[in-house]
Structure formats: structure tokens, C-alpha cells
Amino acid sequence: MHRTRRRFVPMLLLVGLVVPAAWAVAGQEQIVRPTRPEPVVEPSIFASQPIDADQSRLVSMLEGSWRTVEPVGQGDGAARVWMHVLPFESESMGRAMYVEVARDGAAWNPVRQSIFRVYRYGDRLRLRVYEFRDPNRPRVLTNLWLAPDAIPLHTVRPFDLAPTMDIDMGRVENGYAGQTPNPYPTRDTASVEMATRLHVRPDRLVTHDTFYGLDGQPMVEGATGEIAWERATLDALVDRDEDGLIIITLEPGVRSEPPADNGDVVFLNYEGYLASGFQIESTWQRGLALRYIHPGRSIAGMQRGVVPTHEGMRRRLVIPPNLGYGQQAVQSVPGNSTLYYHLHVPKIDRVGDPPSPDEGPRRP
């Protein structure tokens, strides 16, 4: 096993930015989901646009991980925010960036997943922000910027996205700066429109959002105001096996206690996806964690990916076909499918301990 410690660097968005069951359990009802037909894919109009030096330089400055200098929000809900930007290129999208935003201490549960694009509109340099039309669509991508070669961004299509704003950018000393050409409608029930300013330097980002009320005037209460970001790192462990299994450990769990041993009862919440974002199973949706006697029975990738099993552990798995269902189609999983799993172990009952009540769903 080759083990590398990747630095988690998240980055924020500019605006205010069950069956086939992997675990076989006797008597558990299996739910069969129909597969979705693949729509005809038309490439983005931007896919053929040449990339000039300013576009490449701005993307390079945005790439990487950022954290707010100060907590964002008010009162007990205030927290520093992380943002990670990962450039990618695909046949249908051309060159773009995947952006994942999460609160400090909750990397596994992004508050925003978006796509950025730097492009030319005439002679103007612009940054466009897209949101996913279906908020569940990008869940398969979550945290996989930690393993960039394994994130299935090639499955993101133009029709998955809705553009929400453009920011006109221009060169300034040691970077780029710009603003939205006009205010944009908001989803926030407390405001009508918003405008954004952005300043990008190699080591610092500054965003400034202004919200407008029904009277057309800037709002004070609830306005985001100026937010400064700095480059930052957060450890996450990425294990790669020679046969293709990738295990990303986001939370190691309670290491003061030994891992689950044979005969211990493990409570496991998990959800599985295909590369397309199609969800094949989820204990969170069923409302009850899987309860099994360690080591349990499962496909090889899941069996290996959950050990050593510590209470509180959170992981992402990328399971290649040879460690999943292989060449054979099983229920809603086509043959030769790579599987993507999110795992959380909320509880372990040790042999000899009094039994615990079933753990209900705790969304990651």
C-alpha cells in the first residue's frame, strides 16, 4: 500500500461562492433503482475557445486551497470557511474549475459545490460561476480533489449547470481584480439582488458582496461585506493500493480506543454513487445505519476500505471494478463500474458491552 499525506486546501466561492447493497445483510430488504438513460451531450460553446496568457494566469492564481482569515457568520454559527479550487479539462466542458466550499471542521459536508470558468467575452476577461441544477448531482465529487486523478469531472455536462454570475476581471498590480457588471438576483429571501467584487493575488483573495433590498438600496443587516482568504492546509490521509483502491480518511475517529475486532457490532452509515452521480444506495436515506458483526461481508473494496474501523471515522472510497462488481451488471450498477462511497462509523459496540439502540441517520 502506498500512503501519502495530502494537504487539504479548500476554497470558498465568491458569493454570498439500497441494492445493490455493498454489504450483504441477511433479511435486509433490497431496493432496486432504475438506471437513467444518458442524454445526448452537446459540448459547451467555450470548449473550443483558445486559452490566452491572462486566462491561464488567473486560473493558476485561483487554483489550490484557501481559508478565511476570520470566522464568517454571526454568534455561535460563525466559523472559518475553506475553499478548494481544482482546474480540469473535459471534452464537453473544455477548461473549467471545480470549487468545493466547507465550514472548518466539516470537510465531508460541503456547503457549496460549483464550477468556475475563466473566458474571454470579446476583449474582456471574465470569471463565470455555475451552480449545479440538482444539488445532489455533485455529491459523488465530494472531497475527491484530494485524489485529482480519480474525481469523475468528465461526467459533468453543460446541462448539469446553471450560470449564476459573471465577474469582469482586469490586471492590477500583482494580480487581478474585478466586479459583476450589474447586480444579480439572489435566492436569499432577505434580499433581492447582490453584487460582488473580487481581488486575486497569488497569496490572498478578497471578496466583497453587497446585497440590495426592495428599495434598491444596499442592505446593512445580514450583508456579507468583505472577506479575506489566505492559503492554508489541512491534513487528510490518502491511501492508494496497487490494485486501484483509494481510501481518503477525513476523520480518523477515536484512536484512543482499539479498532473494531471480530465479533464487535459496527454501526455504519454509507452512500454509494456511480461516476455519473447516480446514487445506488444510502443508509441516510433509509433512515437507519447498517448494523453488522465485524468483519461483515461485502464487496472486496468496501471490506478493505472500512478497516481499521474506529468509532467516529469518516472516509471516502474509490473502488475500481475489479474490487466491486467486476464486469457483471448487478441491479442498477452497469458492468465495469467504478464505485464511489462515503462512510461514517457513528458507533461500535464491543463484545460484552450492553447493546446500543439502532443509530438513526446522521447526514454527513
Could you read off the pLDDT tens digit of each residue along the chain, which spans 364 residues? 555 554 433 333 333 442 234 544 333 333 344 445 555 668 899 998 999 999 999 999 999 999 999 998 888 889 999 999 999 999 999 999 999 999 999 999 999 999 999 999 999 999 999 999 999 999 999 999 999 999 999 999 999 999 999 999 999 999 999 999 999 988 767 789 999 999 999 999 999 998 888 888 888 755 567 899 999 987 899 999 999 999 999 999 998 899 999 999 999 999 999 999 999 999 999 889 999 999 988 999 999 999 999 999 999 999 999 999 999 899 889 999 999 999 999 999 998 666 666 555 444 4
Give backbone dihedrals phi and psi of 298, rounded to 5 degrees, phi first: -165, 175
Give kind and range of the element (H or E) at residue 279.
Answer: strand 279-282
The C-alpha cell of 71 is what?
470566522
Hey, which residues does 90 pair with through a beta bridge?
94
Dihedral of CA 355/257/283/360: which sign? positive
Q: Counting Cβ atoms within 10 Å, is residue 57 exposed (0-12), middle (13-18) or buried (19+)?
A: middle
DSSP 61-126: HH-EEEEESS-BSSGGG-B-EEEEEEEEEETTTEEEEEEEEEETT-TTS-SEEEEEEEEEETTEEE
The pLDDT score that the predictor gives to residue 80 is 95
Q: Which three cell numbers stand for residue 123?
A: 476583449
Beta bridge partners of 84: 100
Architecture label for domain 241-349: Roll (3.10)
Question: Which uninterrupted H or E stretch holds 305?
Answer: helix 300-305
Query: What's the confidence (pLDDT) of residue 151?
Result: 98
**Distance (Å) of CA 252 to CA 66, 212, 315, 345:** 23, 44, 8, 10
Look at residues 335, 107, 314, 340 and name the one whose alpha carbon lies nearest to residue 244.
Answer: 340
- Among 153, 178, 177, 182, which residue's Cα sits nearest to residue 165? 182
Q: Per the structure block, which three cell numbers stand in for 30? A: 433490497
Tell me, what's the pLDDT at 238?
A: 95
The three cell numbers of residue 284 are: 441516510
Q: How many C-beta atoms lie closer than 10 Å to residue 216's C-beta?
A: 9
Beta-carbon count within 10 A of 207 CB? 23
Residue with cell 433581492: 192
Joined together, the cell numbers standing for residue 321 give 471494478
Q: What is the pLDDT at residue 23?
A: 45
pLDDT at residue 6 in the model: 46
Q: Is the dihedral of CA 165, 279, 9, 55 positive or negative?
A: negative
d(CA 119, CA 197) in angstroms, rounded, equals: 17
Three-class SS state of 190:
coil
3-state secondary structure at position 183: coil
**End-to-end CA separation in angstroms for the chain:** 27
Tell which CATH classification among 2.40.128.590, 2.70.210.12, 3.40.50.2300, 3.30.70.980 matches the domain 8-231: 2.40.128.590
**If you search the block for the grid coordinates 455493498, which residue do you land on?**
22
Cell of 21: 447493497
136 grid coordinates: 445532489
Entry pTM = 0.86
Domain spans in the chain, listed from the N-terminal domain onward? 8-231, 241-349
